[in-house]
Amino acid sequence: MPGRSTQYTVSIVVPMFNEADGIEHFYSVLKKELDRLKCVHEIIFVDDGSIDDSFEKVRQIAASDASVKGIQFSRNFGHQMALFAGLKMAAGDYIIMMDADLQHPPRLIPELIRHAQTGYDIVYTIRKDDETGFLKKSTSSLFYAVFNFLSGLKICNTADFRLITRTVCNTITSIDERDIFLRGLFCWIGFRQAGIEYKPDKRKYGTTKYTFKKMLRFALIGITSFSIKPIRLSLFLCIAAIMIAVFYSGYALYVKLVLDSAIQGWTSILILNSLFFAGVFMLLGIIGEYIGKIHMETKKRPLYIISNTFGDIQEKNN
């Protein structure tokens, strides 16, 4: 496997939302780690519409460190958008995304880079987490099980703490989607990927900025942007409705013709009702299939992604 050059530049992308209390501590821990690497680096803080003075604090840090850069959103657009904006600005050969609360330990950075230098394009991290509450742990495992089943992808309990190479960064930022679910996209784009396990540290300052509502929205965006299977539910309901219609119509005819004990009108209402339900579910299913196709088409995802070529070859017909 070809190794990569030891001369490299690193961009760190840090989304933050009301992290003023801990941002200086985060910066000092991160900076120590980066200085040890002795590589050219930049730290891009993306302020996702904080209402505290997170951005001011970053500006103060930047006054004595030219490698610190800041972007401020006009309002809270969400963690995923903040990450995406940071990726668009990042200039490094290796780009590392991490949270501002020290739950993603900067001490892992050398290991992420070591993996990248052995030829991996995406080095993601897997939480080995003993301290997360039971509720958060079980809902997140359930989410990944449902997501993997519906999308056909295979993502594990990853965090948005990962390293990507310049090529992957260019590929991701050229994807023109509205509902961005980075964990899914990074799995979907392929390339050579490696995962490393880590035990997240405790949040040092403040509390989680992911409210229940934000998590629910995150889960819904994840599922709907990678799967049209839920829309197929109507087709399954249609098959169930047809089976019920056949069985019940047979029963209704038996009661009327053999037992001769049906109330006037009961047989026809029952047969018509069950057949109509089956028909309506079938039509909904068919409409759903077309809507699902439109939904996927509007994403305009590339049909394939080329990671390498050799020889004098380039696309001629585009």
What residues make contact with Mg ion under the rule CB under 5 A?
A: 99, 101, 103
Instruction: Identify the CA nearest to 251 among candidates 264, 266, 241.
Output: 266
Do 184 and 226 contact (CB within 8 A), yes or no? Answer: yes
In the complex with Mg ion, which residue's Cβ is closer, 48 or 101? 101
**Among Mg ion, ligand UDP, none, what does residue 55 contact (CB within 5–8 Å per kind)?**
none
The span from the CA of 74 to the CA of 286, in Å, is 42
**Among Mg ion, ligand UDP, none, what does residue 31 contact (CB within 5–8 Å per kind)?**
none
Do 87 and 160 contact (CB within 8 A), yes or no? Answer: no
CB of 197 to ligand UDP, least distance (A): 17
The span from the CA of 253 to the CA of 274, in Å, is 13
In the complex with ligand UDP, which residue's Cβ is closer, 17 or 226? 17
CB of 26 to Mg ion, least distance (A): 11
- φ, ψ for residue 44, nearest 5 deg: -105, 110
In the complex with Mg ion, which residue's Cβ is closer, 141 or 307? 141
User: Where on the chain is the footprint of ligand UDP (CB under 6 A)?
Assistant: 15-17, 19, 48, 76, 78-79, 82, 99-101, 103, 208-210
CB of 101 to ligand UDP, least distance (A): 5
**Among ligand UDP, Mg ion, none, what does residue 122 contact (CB within 5–8 Å per kind)?**
none
The span from the CA of 154 to the CA of 126, in Å, is 13
CB of 17 to ligand UDP, least distance (A): 3
**Among ligand UDP, Mg ion, none, what does residue 93 contact (CB within 5–8 Å per kind)?**
none
**Among ligand UDP, Mg ion, none, what does residue 82 contact (CB within 5–8 Å per kind)?**
ligand UDP
In the complex with ligand UDP, which residue's Cβ is closer, 51 or 246? 51
In the complex with ligand UDP, which residue's Cβ is closer, 208 or 298? 208
In the complex with ligand UDP, which residue's Cβ is closer, 109 or 270? 109
The span from the CA of 192 to the CA of 26, in Å, is 30
